[in-house]
């Protein structure tokens, strides 16, 4: 039986509390709250919620760094890293290039107008293990 991500995070929150790791407890509680909210709404699956929360943290981190607030940026980076531990490993560039090449061949794409179909197929094949921005860039390169 597969352990759900939320159950694993609950166990990790308890372990972090016992260890006295306040930063980790705070980060994991925020993520757990988002997972519970998504479950109540019947929306995204757990991995989609984790990816969304990681993306939010990375964007906040970048904004804080640009504003010269490294203390806050480091907190966001810590939270993003904590979330990332629960996500499957990202595809390597070579694996992603292979998926893009296969999708271009399968869809018969020949110009940038066909990007949407190719991106859709690559994202489905990647199974959430590739960032949309990276996929878009690779597809654009392949079609130009």
Residue 3 has pLDDT above 70, yes or no: no
Q: What is the pLDDT at residue 38?
A: 85
Query: Residue 16 pLDDT > 70, yes or no?
Result: yes
**Looking at residue 76, which CATH number applies to its domain?**
1.10.1510.10
Q: How far is CA 9 from CA 18, 71, 115, in A?
A: 14, 25, 37
Which of 18-27, 49-58, 76-85, 103-112 is predicted with the least confidence, judged by mean pLDDT?
103-112
Shared-domain flag, residues 114 and 47: no
Task: Provide the pLDDT for residue 2.
Answer: 40
Q: Looking at the structure, tell me whether residues 103 and 75 fall in a common domain.
A: no
Average pLDDT over residues 52-60: 91
* Domain count across the chain: 2
pTM of the model: 0.71
């Amino acid at each position: 039986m597969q352990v759900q991500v939320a159950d694993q995070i609950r166990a990790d929150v308890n372990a972090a509390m016992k260890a006295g790791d306040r930063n980790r407890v705070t980060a994991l509680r925020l993520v757990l709250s988002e997972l519970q909210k998504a479950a109540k709404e019947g929306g995204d699956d757990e991995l989609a919620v984790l990816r969304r929360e990681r993306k939010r943290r990375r964007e906040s981190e970048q904004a804080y760094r640009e504003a010269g607030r490294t203390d806050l940026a480091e907190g966001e980076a810590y939270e993003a890293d904590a979330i990332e531990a629960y996500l499957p490993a990202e595809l390597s560039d070579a694996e992603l290039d292979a998926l893009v090449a296969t999708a271009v061949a399968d869809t018969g794409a020949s110009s940038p107008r066909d990007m949407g179909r190719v991106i859709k197929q690559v994202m489905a094949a990647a199974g959430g293990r590739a960032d949309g921005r990276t996929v878009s860039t690779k597809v654009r390169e392949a079609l130009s």
